[in-house]
Amino acid sequence: MEFWSETNWFAIQARPHQEYLGATNVAKLDIEVFLPRVHQTQAICGVPRRLIKPLFPGYFFSRFVPIVSMEAVRFCRGVLRVVGTSRFPIPLETEIIANLLERVRPDGLIHLEPRMYKPGDRVRIEQGPFEGFIGRVERETDEGRRIAILLETIQQARLLVEKSWVGLADRV
């Protein structure tokens, strides 16, 4: 219970699609807020667009003393709850936030390393019309944006898919 009167980092669950609103309103309370963001490519009307999105959709982090600020944070617009049990918020390890903060670049974003696939890697398609199919990587194309896959399930058919649509089959 000593965390109740100490300054700690907490995960805050935002209302759906209101991470920015929640983080802004908590920051207005003079409480430190961290909303890690990344570039993400998303198809809008069939056209790929680069957007800035939260790294953890639906969540942001805040550093405060629960006994002093818990109620104010909980009732900010855009905030659903402070992550914890039914009775107490759960403080995060300082190293978790420190590691994330170290990865923030001067543009304010965290740059994720793209997945690297080697020819022969066994992958499972996780999105799109061929979701669930398994195949082997042949090569990367389009400057690493897409990969050519030799499907195992359809008579050795070749398929070109978005790289973000696949994951290694061994870990699935």
| Ranges of CATH 3.30.70.940 domains, the chain | 2-102
Q: Quick check: 121 and 147 in contact, CB under 8 A? A: no
Residue type, 56: F
| Residues paired with 60 in a beta bridge | 12
pLDDT at 155: 60
pLDDT at res. 151: 82
Residue 30 φ/ψ region, left for φ over 0, alpha for ψ in the -120 to 50 degree band, beta for the rest: left
Residue 115: predicted pLDDT: 73
Q: Class of the 122-171 domain?
A: mainly beta
pTM exceeds cut of 0.75:
no
Cα 104 to Cα 15: distance, rounded to the nearest angstrom? 24
Joined together, the tokens standing for residue 60 give 């942001």
Residue 157, amino acid? A
**According to CATH, where is 2.30.30.30 located in the chain?**
122-171
- The top-level CATH class assigned to 2-102 is alpha beta
- Could you list the pLDDT tens digit for every one of the 172 residues in the chain? 676 788 999 999 999 999 999 999 999 999 999 999 988 777 777 777 888 889 889 999 999 999 999 999 999 999 999 998 888 899 999 899 999 999 989 888 888 776 778 888 888 887 777 778 888 888 877 666 788 888 876 666 777 777 777 777 765 4
